[in-house]
Amino acid sequence: MSGALYIFNPENDLSVANGGENYMPPPRARIIAEDLAFLPVWYAENGDDVIVPSERYIDWMYSERASLGCFSEVVLKGRLPDKNWTACIPWGWSPEIARRFLRMGVSDRLLPGNVLLKEQKRLYHRNQTLEILKGLRDYGIGDIPDLLPEELYTTESVCRYIQSAPLTVLKAPWSGSGKGLSWGRGVYDTTLERWSRGILRRQGSIMGEPFYEKVQDFAMEFHSDGVSSVVFAGYSLFDTNKKGVYTGNILTGDADILSCLSIYVATERIESVKIALQELLSVKVAPYYKGYFGIDMMIYKENGKYRLNPCIELNLRMNMGVVSRIFYDRYTAPGSKGIYVVDYNPDSAALYADHLTRTKDNPLIIHDGKIIKGYLSLSPLTPESHYRARVEIY
């Protein structure tokens, strides 16, 4: 029996926001989609196929992959084989990617219909953060911030919200991975007014959230069966830059991540949130979405005490936290630790030179099908590449 068909479409948040079947993402989004097209090879199952845009991906680094027991295949987007795939698995679903699969000749029986796509867009909205926090509070979870996010519908309400506190965070409803954010500093200046008017015109509202004195980002990753059940899939410990944009993950086991978090909050509190979310999301998400997704969380400091915010954002799609979790569990020797990083360099030659240097200075060491230490780029690197997903095991 044929396996599933994967594609990496990281522009999906933008596609969902646009809503059109013929949406064309901006150039930078198209570049990352091409440079990292190989990424699903690492989280697909053996026997699955991954769509890539050009010949340079075929058999790339096959010896290393084979040594790690990774036997998913790559297929060219313009020449898909005649196979009876069991499922289509993009990075995320939108009308645009569903239409793209159809144009490539994939059967519509493997695609979500318009009703499901509309429900998924509803769940993509950042107001779901508010709904999940309320649901957890009703469930009896005590780790709910005193001030909840607010959905703002007018420039006047945005202005009042910004002026209500020295620091606030404003978020476009449909965006993700640290994008679509703006910071309020107590003054509704011209830049914020222009930004908020544009978001309100295009998306209808803005989510206003309190500013938290962040100590540590992390996430709980889940998998939905698309019917009635959501199950926990692992923890993700990650970093973001000053603008809130994802930069990379710590590669280690779930037990180590829990141990790290327990420095700030009791493990029992985190576990109780996990159990509550599985039940809540089995009702809220499972009937409308099948696949991996994540809930971003945060440890923050308030009045000298460490607190847990159990829902910063719902990411209703595959995400880098899941990729790093699967990669570590499948391909890394037990007890080893490292980092998973997504790099961008406007100077492609410099990125390629860095790749050669890391390959030489930290060569890959594999024993019994697991990485003991070393550097590995998870996608083909050429002198023209601008993006790279890499792991380094120490």
User: What is the longest distance spanned by two Cα atoms in the chain?
Assistant: 62
Phi, psi angle pair for 26, to nearest 5°: -65, 160
119 pLDDT higher than 90: yes
Report the pLDDT averaged over residues 243-258: 91
The mean predicted confidence, pLDDT, of the chain is: 94
Task: Express each pLDDT in 318-337 by its tens digit.
Answer: 999 999 999 999 999 999 99
Report the pLDDT averaged over residues 96-112: 95
CA-based angle 244:247:249, to the nearest 5?
115
pLDDT in the model for residue 177: 61
State pTM to two decimals: 0.94
Residue 281 burial (C-beta neighbours within 10 Å; 0-12, 13-18, 19+)? buried
pLDDT in the model for residue 64: 86
Tokens of 387: 């993006």
pLDDT in the model for residue 97: 97
